[in-house]
Amino acid sequence: MMLAEIGETGQRRLMESSVLIVGLGGLGCPVALYLAGAGVGRIGLADADSVSETNLHRQLLYADGDVGRSKCEAARERLAAVAPHCRFELHPQGLIPENVRELIACYDLVVDCCDNYATRFMIDDVCAELGKTWVFGAISGYGGMVSVFNGLHRYDSLFPDRESLGGEPASSGAVMGPTPGVVGSVEAAEAIKILAGSKPALAGRLFTADLLTMNFQTIEL
């Protein structure tokens, strides 16, 4: 509330707002922690995956004892301990064609933390149909990118080859642990500003980060 751009009015907006986080991996963990800590009133957690040992170096909601557990269940347990005021809604089937419209309609904002193009194209289509804004994030190796799409600006403008990309499998490449922390933090910052009533910096723009070279850029789309 001490931030002039948020203040008491913005904090009340956050408390009354809802967010759907799609994916609880490297990006979803910092996004969920920061949104819960910011006072968002209701957070949907959508992920069909379970915790594996290879997740632990970058997915900071989980510990060794969580290996084999549903990410939704393990994440809620950790988040509830740090943000008991927040209402967490679990969607352990993940975001799929059968539920995408119903789930997105229930939330004010969608934050994409998934690992595949097909899900992002699906999010973009439904958000455009319903007039919803969503925050896009992606990572690979030492780098990542973030943007905000709101119907006026579409995911297709960044990745126009839908037919080819939509059939690609989920990303499985190596990622340095801090990479999703940096990119997820940028996603969370944009989400907090949107929910608090401020203008996002990345609507119609693309933020890129390369932690190997420490090169950060923001370009117009």
In the chain (221 residues long), the average pLDDT of successive 10-residue segments reads 92 97 98 97 98 95 97 98 96 97 98 95 96 97 97 88 76 87 98 95 96 97 90
Q: Is residue 47 part of a domain?
A: yes
pLDDT of residue 172: 64
Q: Is residue 189 part of a domain?
A: yes
Q: Is residue 1 part of a domain?
A: no
Q: Is residue 80 part of a domain?
A: yes
HEC string of the chain? Answer: CCCCCCHHHHHHHHHCCEEEEECCCCCHHHHHHHHHHHCCCEEEEECCCECCHHHCCCCCCCCHHHCCCEHHHHHHHHHHHHCCCCEEEEECCCCCCCCHHHHHHCCCEEEECCCCHHHHHHHHHHHHHHCCEEEEEEEEECEEEEEEECCCCCHHHCCCCHHHHCCCCCCCCCECCHHHHHHHHHHHHHHHHHHCCCCCCCECEEEEEECCCCEEEEEEC
Residue 31's domain spans which residues? 7-220
Q: Is residue 201 part of a domain?
A: yes
Q: Is residue 178 part of a domain?
A: yes
pLDDT of residue 161: 85
Instruction: Indicate the number of domains in the chain.
Output: 1
Q: What CATH number is associated with residue 214?
A: 3.40.50.720
pLDDT of residue 18: 98
Q: Is residue 2 part of a domain?
A: no
Q: Is residue 164 part of a domain?
A: yes
